[in-house]
Amino acid sequence: MSSISLDLNGYTDVPDTKIAVVVTYLEMLSRPDLADRRTPDGVTLERWQSPDPEDYRRLFRSIGDEWLWFGRLVMDRADLAEILRQSTREIFVAVREGKQLGLLEIDYSDPANPELAYFGLVPDAIGGGMGGWLMKAGIDMVWSRPETQRFWVHTCTGDSPQALGFYRAVGFKPYKRAIEVADDPRLLGVLEDHLGPHLPKLA
C-alpha cells in the first residue's frame, strides 16, 4: 500500500479517488447565555428511539447529500443499527405535520464530554429560525446534566459554509484542526455523481 507524506508548508497531491477536507473541532466549556428561541409554528421535537437504519439514512441523506455526508451511508446495516440503539446516544427530530425536518444527535458515551454527533435541517427548513431553536434545545439538554463539563462538535470544509459560523454564534469555540482524507463516496456508489459540486469528483 502506497503512502503519501503531508507537506505542512505547501501542497500535497491527493489521489483522484479521494476527497480531502479541513476539519475544525469546536467546544463549549460552560452553558452559554442564549436568548430563548420561539418554537417554529407547528413544529415539535420528538425523541427517536432506536430508529430503523433505513429510515435514519433517509433523513440523513435529506439533510446531508448536498454536503457529501457519507459516514452513515458506508456502514454495514447491522453496525449502524447497533450505533443507533446505543443507550448513551440520544436522537431527536424536528417534525411538522408528520414530516421530519431536522436531526439532533448527541453522543453521551463520555458523560463529561458529550459530542454533538450530527445536526442539520432538510433544505426547505433552512432560514426560518428552526436551526437556532433546535440547537438551543440540544444545548439545554446537554447542560442540564450535572456531569457535563464540555460539549463539543466538529465540522469541515465539505459541510455547509454556514456551519462553522453558526456553531460559533451559539457558543462553540474552535480549538483544533485536522485534515481528513477519505474515499470519494460518489465513486463508492453511495452518493450520486452530481452531489457535492464544491468538492468536484475527479475520477
Whether 12 is in a domain gets the answer: no
Mean pLDDT of 176-189: 96
Its domain, for residue 123, covers: 20-183
Confidence of residue 159 (pLDDT cuts 50, 70, 90): very high
The percent of residues above 90 in pLDDT, for the chain, comes to: 94
Q: What is the CATH number of the domain that holds 94?
A: 3.40.630.30
Residue 192 resides in a domain: no
15: in domain: no
Question: In the predicted model, is pLDDT for residue 50 greater than 60?
Answer: yes
Residue 167 maps to a domain: yes
Domain count, the chain: 1
Q: Rounded to a whole number, what is the largest CA-CA distance in the chain?
A: 55
Confidence category of residue 2, pLDDT binned at 50, 70, 90: low
Q: What is the pTM of this model?
A: 0.94
Average pLDDT over residues 163-186: 97
Cell numbers representing residue 152 in the block: 463539543
Lowest-pLDDT range, 3-7, 38-42, 106-110? 3-7
147 within some domain: yes
Looking at residues 125-145, what average pLDDT do you find?
96
159 part of a folded domain: yes
Q: Per the domain annotation, does 31 fall within a domain? A: yes
Residue 96, burial from CB neighbour count under 10 angstroms (0-12, 13-18, 19+): middle
Using H for helix, E for strand and C for coil, what is the string for the chain? CCCCCCCCCCCCCCCCCEEEEEEEEEEECCCCCCCCCCCCCCEEEEECCCCCHHHHHHHHHHHHHHHCCCCCCCCCHHHHHHHHCCCCEEEEEEEECCEEEEEEEEECCCCCCCEEEEEEECHHHCCCCHHHHHHHHHHHHHHCCCCCCCEEEEEECCCCCCHHHHHHHCCCEEEEEEEEEEECCCCCCCCCCCCCCCCCCCC
Check residue 203 and give its pLDDT: 85
